[in-house]
Structure 1
């Protein structure tokens, strides 16, 4: 359908070298977008670009830290000259540090906030200025269920993702008049290499997720592709400031009834 066609659109995905960022990038590429991938690890970038090209996608990688506003500004300028205008920005790069609030070093707290919240602001500001000039653009911030819920040992991550949710709404408020849509995706629990060690039968956390999720399974990375394409395409031209949770229904329920089999 033409509403979802991303042909000739340039999509910049931060942290698109692995995991969910890679799944989102691939979904956009399948809809026709040209991929611009950012990352900080040369080996991961090489592997990711090789994978994208092997699939027949248009992809180019740029190595820089999105939290460094000076370097990010230089790289966005280079990208604009080499690739052309950035039509779609996906703020996906992020980190998590699991530590109880009573013992978490303040430096670690600041680092998580810097990567997960300040980085998306920097990239949105840089790319948003260009979008405002041409009166068109799509920005997708990768939020989290921790944008809504608390959880043990992730105070910094939850604070950052809660902030990212509100940054999404505020940017939408400021930029909607320029025909720019700023929305977010909140992934639930997904089957990735990072979660592989706990996605085994009889593991307490695996059992918890299966029982807590109405869909009764972990998400597959490709489950994010449709939502990403929707928010990057003309189909979402009047959708703004929204967070779409792709979580198998976790946020919709308090949990299974006590007596349910």
Structure 2
């Protein structure tokens, strides 16, 4: 049988691709044969990531919250590099604060990054994918998409919105050949996670005790899931959210 996990000849664009989960996904997709374009705000981080990955990686500096820049980003990438087969909406910001203390501006900043930018990118790449009759869009969801977590109301609202977008976009785009899915990472070793947990040992202990595997995950755990969803092996999967969480979403 042909290797259904082979991504040779495919291109993926990953927002927030210079560090953390985005970088882990990029490495795994490249290992499966894909080319990757990393998008982010910090050129130094993007350069370092591309140098570490090798010749099948490139980058574009873009703040995706500036929605007016997205059409030009999409046009530039597809003209200069080639058609994008997989879009991974991974760019994100975290806000740890009691809900009663979150300002309207702070709430909207989180929504702008996760939801508005993710939708705009999906719309622009989705148009092109549907014209070609094939493509994949993957959202990085969260455990906060699945259950209530204290101190992350804005983040939870944004990540829950991702699931609604996955279902609605699948209904709109999949009849024209584009699959839409999400990955819900559990607690994964990353700069964002350690920033949230290292100064909060009780929260850290609570997470580990409700995670059946009893450990935090690695970025590559999310990367291999993304590679699967982007591959022909997942050709009959659309509109779903795949938890990659060590069992946290079913733990007690």
Q: Same fold by TM-score, threshold 0.5 exceeded?
A: yes
2:115 paired residue among 111, 114, 117: 117
Indicate the SS of the match to 1:245: strand
1:4-23, Cα deviation, whole Å (9 max, x unpaired)? 11001010000100001100
Deviation, 1:238, is 0.9
Q: Work out which of the residue numbers 62, 67, 83 in structure 2 matches 1:69.
A: 67
**What residue is the counterpart of 2:25 in the other structure?**
24
**Counterpart among 143, 147, 151 of residue 145 in structure 1:** 143
Residue 14 of structure 2 contacts residue 38 of structure 2 at CA under 8 Å; is this kept in 1?
yes
Matches within 5 A, 1:153-232: 153-196=151-194, 203-232=201-230
Q: Which has the larger radius of gyration?
A: 1
Tell me, in whole angstroms, the C-alpha distance in 2 between the residues paired with 1:229 and 1:96: 25
Structure 1 unpaired stretches of 5+: 256-261
Contact map agreement 1:8 1:34 (CA 8 A) in 2: yes
Report the alpha carbon displacement of residue 198 of structure 1 after superposing the two structures with TM: 7.3
Q: Tell me the C-alpha RMSD between the 2 structures.
A: 1.6
Unmatched runs of 5 consecutive residues or more in structure 2: none
Mapping 1:66-145, distance limit 5 Å? 66-145=64-143
Where 1:195 maps in the other structure, the secondary structure is helix
Q: TM-score, normalised by structure 1?
A: 0.92
Residue-by-residue CA offset, 1:78-109 (whole Å, 9 max, x unaligned): 11111110001000001111111111111000
Question: Is contact 2:111–2:158 with CA below 8 Å preserved after alignment?
Answer: yes
Residues 198, 206 of structure 1: 8 Å contact kept = no
Query: CA, structure 1 residues 45+138, in 2 after alignment: closer, same or farther (shift >3 Å)?
Result: same
- Write the distance in 2 (CA, Å) between the matches of 1:115 and 1:126: 16
